[in-house]
Amino acid sequence: MHAPAAQATVTADEVRRMTLHAQGFLGATSWGRSRAGVAAMLRRVGAVQLDTISVLARSHELVAYARLGPVGRERIEQAYWHPAKPAAFEYWAHAACVLPIEQWPFFAFRRRALRARGVRWQHSHQQTCEKVLARLRAEGPLTATQLGGAKGGGPWWDWSDIKIAVEWLLDTGDVICVRRTGWRRVYDLPERVLPGDLLHAEPSDLECLAYLAGAAARALGVVTHADLVDYHRLNDLTSEKAQHTRLVAEAALAAGLTPVVIAGNQARAGTGAAGKGAAGKGRAGTGRARASAADVTGWADPAALAGAGSRGRNRVTLLSPFDSLVWDRRRTHRMFGFAHSLEAYVPKHKRVHGYFSMPLLADGRLVGRVDPARDGTTLVARRVSLDKAAAAEPMNPRRESSDMVSPCRRVIRKRGTRKFRETLHHGSADREDQAVTRSKTQARQVPCLMAS
């Protein structure tokens, strides 16, 4: 479809600030350190990625902690997997994610596409699927182990026929997961869990994509075509006939998003099928601006656009490598000039920043990385890499506001460790020969004030 004329032009700095505000890292929020606060955070970001890796904590905890501060694991997990009042469910969005329960109807496009495709990764047997459903109907919610076992006897990824079947039923919406126990999914029937209005809703593909476009824009503030595709991975787990990515521009307009021009090179990598468009009619809150060849068209959440010029306090925090702020490496690089990657699956001798390197957000910028570990009751920052040498000035342990010490101390208070030990590197993050390292014997021991 023909892209309408953009209604405003936003600069790279405005996009960065709008994204930080939308993600809960800039300015005040009404979220508290409670189960309700975690649930409100989840609704705002739209999806929280799940992953099995646990260093300081699993990623779904770190995402909440980065935005809310020290909040207990029980509160976080009750918000995600409440045993009596489900407010979220698990499904494939950007990856395996926890999603607000009200989003259930709007993943119907993916459930339909998977049914049409007939397979995700492994073929399931119809007879096994029927047995799984019969047991869930007769016995209530069950884990894969209770259903008969999750593993097939081979490597850790070798699923049993039961596990393949129940995960396929989850993909197609015949089964739902709203609870975990011991990090195991508990499978249930949607009709036992969902309220009627969610259970019986069957929106069209365009209605689904329009809803998800709105959710992505609220989570990011400003989006390009590529951003809308990536946030919920619209080109994955679908069918070729559906061509969902071709509906993105139409979905953005149906969602009520405001067409904008993103000035300069900030969004150049985000150009997609509908990414090139008309010149901007005016800059957000200012006068008329002329578009250049490097400008691209995107869409803004109207509320984010209205507050584009607002300022506020920036959070200083460590981010999970799976945080939605840094999901898209290209967007992260063009917005922050920061090359983000997870090296957990890289051979140890080839790692540059560490196994679970966590980006450090300070003053609205990604300024470095921390590779954390625990040594008994000591939190060890095995490698602290700062992208600018000026950021590696000696830290004063008496200053609670020190950019590097402060988030590490707050992690300590949450996780129950008692000391902090760090190894500091500065200079170009990608140049080993510019690193300056303190040995373990020189590393500072920072006492911890335990959280109440």
Q: Which two tokens stand for residue 305?
A: 């656009």
- Residues 284-299 as b/e (b if ≥16 CB within 10 A, e otherwise) read beeeebebeeebbbbb
Question: What are the φ and ψ backbone dihedral angles of 83, each rounded to 5 degrees?
Answer: -70, -25
State how far the Cα of 56 lies from the Cα of 358, in Å rounded to an integer: 11
**Contact, 336 vs 16, CB < 8 A?**
yes
Q: Which residues in the chain land under pLDDT 70?
A: 1-3, 150-158, 238-242, 265-293, 388-452
**Contact, 11 vs 335, CB < 8 A?**
no
**H runs (alpha helix) in 102-235:** 108-117, 126-139, 144-147, 161-172, 190-193, 196-199, 205-220, 225-231
Element (H, E) at 449: none
State how far the Cα of 3 lies from the Cα of 442, in Å rounded to an integer: 59
State how far the Cα of 275 lies from the Cα of 373, in Å rounded to an integer: 42
End-to-end CA distance of the chain: 56
Scanning the structure block, which residue is given the tokens 């500065």?
426
State how far the Cα of 173 lies from the Cα of 111, in Å rounded to an integer: 6
**Contact, 32 vs 72, CB < 8 A?**
no
Element (H, E) at 152: none
State how far the Cα of 370 lies from the Cα of 152, in Å rounded to an integer: 37
SS3 86: coil
- Say what the pLDDT of residue 270 is: 41
Q: Which two tokens stand for residue 194?
A: 């969902």
Q: Identify which of 258, 259, 291, 256 has the alpha carbon closest to the alpha carbon of residue 275.
A: 259
- Say what the pLDDT of residue 271 is: 40
- Say what the pLDDT of residue 410 is: 54
Edge-to-edge, what's the strand order for the sheet holding 176-181?
A: 142-143, 184-188, 176-181
Radius of gyration of the chain from Cα atoms? 23
**Contact, 202 vs 115, CB < 8 A?**
no
State how far the Cα of 341 lies from the Cα of 357, in Å rounded to an integer: 8
**Contact, 253 vs 217, CB < 8 A?**
no
Question: In Å, how far are 217, 233, 280 from 237, measured between CA atoms?
Answer: 22, 8, 35
SS3 422: strand
- Residues 197-226 as b/e (b if ≥16 CB within 10 A, e otherwise) read ebbeeeeebebbbbbbbbbbbbbbbbbbbb
Four-residue CA torsion sign, 429, 435, 438, 444: negative
State how far the Cα of 343 lies from the Cα of 101, in Å rounded to an integer: 32
